Amino acid sequence: MMSFRKSPEDIARINATLQNKRLSGERLEVAFRSDPDVIAKIMPKPLKPAGTDKVVVRVTRWVTNYCGTFTMAGLYLDAEHDGQSGEYVLSMFIDSYDAALLIGREGFGEPKKMGSVELVRCGNSFMGTVDRLGTRLMTLKVEAGEDLGPSKGSQAGNLYSIKATLDLDGTLQGDAFLMAQQLEVNSSETRTGPGSLVLGGSPHDPIDEFPILEVLSGSYAVQELYGSRYPDGGYQRAVIPGEEFLPYHYGRLDDWSAHDVLSGLRGA
C-alpha cells in the first residue's frame, strides 16, 4: 500500500531488495598517476594515501533492480584505513532521476551531484564525458584491444566514503562517519588499451586540481555487480570529528556563493 508511513511488511519488502542489489551494465575507466602532495592534502583522516599516487576516473552505465537506470561518473583515490586498502570516492556525478542519486548519497555518503554523463562506443573506441553547469569536467578515451574474456571476483579492496550532514549554521551536525563496503563483480567482457584523459574544473567541481603526470591504464568492461556486503571490520569504520571534516565536506559541495543570482537583480 502506498503511504508516507510504511508498514513493517513494506519495510521488509524494500529491505529485501536493498539487501540483494544487482547492477548490470558497462564501465569505462582511465587510471593516472598524480601529485602525491595533492592527494595527501585532499585525503581526510583517518584515511591515508595508499602510496601508489593513483587516481581513477570511471564512467559507468547501469540497469538495476533497485533504482532504475542511470549513467554515472566518479573520481577515486587509492586509500587505506586500518591496514585495509581500497578506493576513496572523492567526487561523483549522475545523469538520472532522484532514486539513483539518493540511494548512494543517503545510504553510503557518496558525494553525488547531478550532471550530464555520456558513454559512447564506436567499434573498440570508447569515450566518456562529464558536463556540469556549463563546464566539461572529464573526457576519457580508450582505444581497447581484444576481449580478454570473462572473470569473476570481488572488487579489489574496500570502497570508502564519508557520511556528513550540514547544520543550519554551516557547521556539521555532529560528527562525520567513515563507511566501507565491498562489491562482487563479474565481467563478461574486458578490454584494455591506451587511454587518454582531460580534466576540467569549476568553482563547484575542481576536478583539474589533480595534475595528470602519467596515464597508467585504460579499460572497458561489461559487468554485473552484486552487493553490497560488509568488509572485515564492518560498515562504519571510524568517527571523524565534525570540525576536522568540515573543510573536506565543503570541498565536496557546491560553492553556494558562486550560485548567487539575486545580487545581480535590480532592487535586490
Instruction: Return the CATH number at 229.
Output: 2.40.400.10
Whether residue 5 has pLDDT greater than 80? yes
Residue 15 lies in a domain: no
Average pLDDT over residues 227-248: 92
Which range has the top average pLDDT, 39-43, 232-236, 264-268?
Answer: 39-43
For the beta carbon of residue 63, count every other beta carbon within 10 angstroms.
Answer: 11
Give the C-alpha separation, 88 to 7, whole Å. Answer: 36
Range of the domain at 59: 22-253
Residue 266 lies in a domain: no
Whether residue 227 has pLDDT greater than 80? no
Residue 10 lies in a domain: no
Alpha-carbon distances of 26 from 61, 62, 72, rounded to whole Å: 5, 7, 11
Give the C-alpha separation, 59 to 129, whole Å. Answer: 8
**83-121 pLDDT tens trace:** 999 999 999 999 987 889 888 888 889 999 999 999 999
Kindly report the three-state secondary structure assignment for every residue of 82-123: CCEEEEEEEEEEEECCHHHHHHHHHHHCCCEEECEEEEEEEC
Percent of the chain with pLDDT over 70: 98
Give the strands of the sheet with 195-199, arranged side by side.
Answer: 116-122, 125-132, 135-143, 195-199
User: pLDDT value at position 1?
Assistant: 59
Residue 210 lies in a domain: yes
Q: Report the mean per-residue pLDDT for the chain.
A: 94
Whether residue 187 has pLDDT greater than 90? yes
User: pLDDT value at position 154?
Assistant: 64
For the beta carbon of residue 98, count every other beta carbon within 10 angstroms.
Answer: 12
**20-40 pLDDT tens trace:** 999 999 999 999 999 999 999
* Model confidence, pTM: 0.94
| Contact between residue 226 and residue 190 where contact means Cβ atoms under 8 Å apart | no
Whether residue 41 has pLDDT greater than 80? yes
Q: ω into residue 194 within 30 of 0, thus cis?
A: no
Greater pLDDT, 215 or 96: 215
- For residue 89 the three cell numbers come to 570516492
Provide φ and ψ at 112, rounded to 5°: -75, 140
**122-158 pLDDT tens trace:** 999 999 999 999 999 999 999 999 999 999 876 668 9
User: pLDDT value at position 16?
Assistant: 94
Residue 267 lies in a domain: no
Indicate the burial class of 221 (C-beta count within 10 angstroms; 0-12, 13-18, 19 or more). buried
Helices (H) and strands (E) in the chain, counts: 4, 15
Residue 42 lies in a domain: yes
The total of structural domains in the chain comes to 1
| Contact between residue 183 and residue 224 where contact means Cβ atoms under 8 Å apart | no
Greater pLDDT, 1 or 186: 186
Residue 202 lies in a domain: yes
Whether residue 260 has pLDDT greater than 90? yes
Whether residue 61 has pLDDT greater than 70? yes
Residue 93 lies in a domain: yes
User: pLDDT value at position 107?
Assistant: 84
Average pLDDT over residues 247-253: 96
